[in-house]
Amino acid sequence: MRPLPTHARELARLTPRERALFFDSLDADELESLKTLWPFWARPEQLIPEGDWVYWLPLAGRGWGKTRVGAETVRQWAREFGMVNLIGATADDVRDVMVEGESGVLASCPRDERPRYVAHRRRLEWPNGAKSLLFSAEEPERLRGKQHQKLWCDEIAAWRYPEAWDQALFGLRLGTKPQAILTTTPRPTKLMRDLLADPLTHSTRHSTFENIGNLAENFLDRVVRKYEGTRLGRQELHAEMLLDVPGALWTRALLEQAQIGYPPPRPEESVQQASRSPHPEEPPQAASRRTRTQLTRIVVAIDPPATSGENADECGMVVAGLDETRNVHILADLSRQGETPLGWATRAVEAFRNFEADCIVAEVNNGGEMIETLLRQIDANIPYRAVRASRGKFARAEPVAALYEQGRVKHCGVFAKLEDQMCAMTPDFDRTRTGYSPDRVDALVWAVTALALSQESGGAVFEFYRTLAGEQSGVG
């Protein structure tokens, strides 16, 4: 009999009979403990690295185990430190992925070590008295004044408001060695570039394929085989930091210049109301930005998929507003994959109501009258405009990109997936090469066009746009 395995790698090398004997040698408590014994299951690169670092930045592809690594690092730190906090891209991500997810904190801990999740107070209470405060990067001001000994920041490259990281840094000051683990799929944002250039950062890069033995066949079929060999696959599977695409309509620098943070108010909000701000604990500089201009019109634009299901294209859905100086503000990217037609139609109506929009705009090439029928089943009085594409995506997007170059389109935060698609939009864009259809870009193009370029909007370049892109818009 070989010596008992001390790591999963050794366990995998045993014969089936030797593995059976190993498990038979453990009592019930030892078997239960083995399930959550992270040093036994982890690959060496998934354990907390040694060295004098402040930020541990494991750049990793989908399915590599980023969430488990973050959760296990929090678990280990919570044994030794009293304040180990968590920040996710959204409140839903914190709850559904970092805390309650199948690789999150609760699932990673054995019963006697599992913290109590106090949802209404946004915190974890550990059995040894340690606490973990839970934050969303969509609420940067909740981080103001909060202190951290250790910190787990998830998908930091996709945080909508980069100022959330600034506030987190101000609070990373407790104890003798404050540190943060930053788990993310890389994107070439300014924040990511700054972190990688920081001498206090310990960065490693990992591929999805390092963990392929633990991934479901479903995941391999849906994701790995679909995107391997594509540009998106290089980012999402191999964790490459992709630079600008030659010939693309948008560059990262152009989009960074367009980012302004919080959106401006509607006309009915007084200057006094805007200064107080509907956003809890909004910083004064953000509130002052809201008083400079006001939104005079808001639209929800939809680029619906031809089919539904997990292999279907995304339903592109973008909310945008026009201010009194005729600049366009991108307020939200609500695009999603896998919904039924009724599902995305319901979400579009909800967005119309939540953003107090003036109109829903939808491309009807694939859906025709069905789209309007669906929307009116939900709300018979919804203002609706149908648009039809008669030229290619690149030609439709060119006038919109020109508005960006003129500084007339603003992004209210970072829209990671949308911006990735924008920076890949070239004249020879090929979905078989990229691995996706640019449905988010299509929705953005329809939104900006409806607000600033269409005949109804009074856009000065309408005739140029109609000649170049061949669009015909009709009011439903």
Q: How confident is residue 476, by pLDDT bands cut at 50, 70 and 90?
A: very low
> Mean pLDDT throughout 225-251?
81
Q: Give start and end residues of each alpha helix (H) in 251-392.
A: 252-258, 271-276, 284-292, 341-354, 369-378
If asked whether residues 87 and 228 sit together in one domain, one would say yes
Do 264 and 193 lie in one domain? The reply is: no
CATH code, domain carrying 374: 3.30.420.240
The residue out of 236, 266, 298 marking a domain boundary is: 236
Report the predicted TM-score, pTM, of the whole model to 2 decimal places.
0.76
Q: Do 273 and 212 sit in the same domain of this protein?
A: no
247 located within any domain: no
Cα 450 from Cα 14, distance rounded (Å): 64
Most confident of 4-13, 107-116, 288-297: 107-116
Same-domain status, 188 and 257: no
H-helix segments, 46-132 = 66-80, 91-93, 105-108
Residues 6+ apart with CB under 8 A from 100: 106, 107, 117
Residues 227 and 260 in one domain: no
Residue 5 is assigned to a structural domain of this protein: no
321 & 463 share domain: yes
pLDDT at 270 > cutoff 50: no
Where among 209, 236, 263 does a domain terminate?
236
Buried b (16+ CB within 10 A) or exposed e, 237-266: bbbbbbeebeebbbbbebbeebbbbbbbbe
Report the number of distinct structural domains present in the chain: 2
For the chain, the helix, strand and coil percentages under 3-state DSSP, each to the nearest 5:
45, 20, 40
Residues 132, 188, single domain; the answer is yes
In a domain, 30, yes or no: no
Are residue 209 and residue 310 in the same domain, yes or no? no
* Strand 328-333 versus strand 316-323 pairing type: antiparallel
Predicted local confidence at residue 456, as pLDDT: 56
Write out the two tokens for 299.
């639209």
**349 and 209 fall within a common domain:** no
What is the band of 288 on the pLDDT scale with cuts at 50, 70, 90? very low
Domain final position from 207, 236, 265: 236
Q: Following DSSP, what letter does each residue of 154-192 receive, concatenated?
A: ESGGG-S-THHHHHHHHHB--SSS-EEEEEB-----HHH
Q: Which residue has the higher pLDDT, 414 or 467?
A: 414
Q: Is the pLDDT of residue 209 over 90?
A: no
Residues 265, 216 share a domain: no
Can you give the residue range of the structural domain that contains 61?
A: 52-236
How far is it, in rounded angstroms, from Cα 314 to Cα 300?
16
| Claim to verify: residue 350 and residue 409 sit in the same structural domain | yes
Least confident residue range of 120-134, 135-149, 177-191, 356-370:
356-370
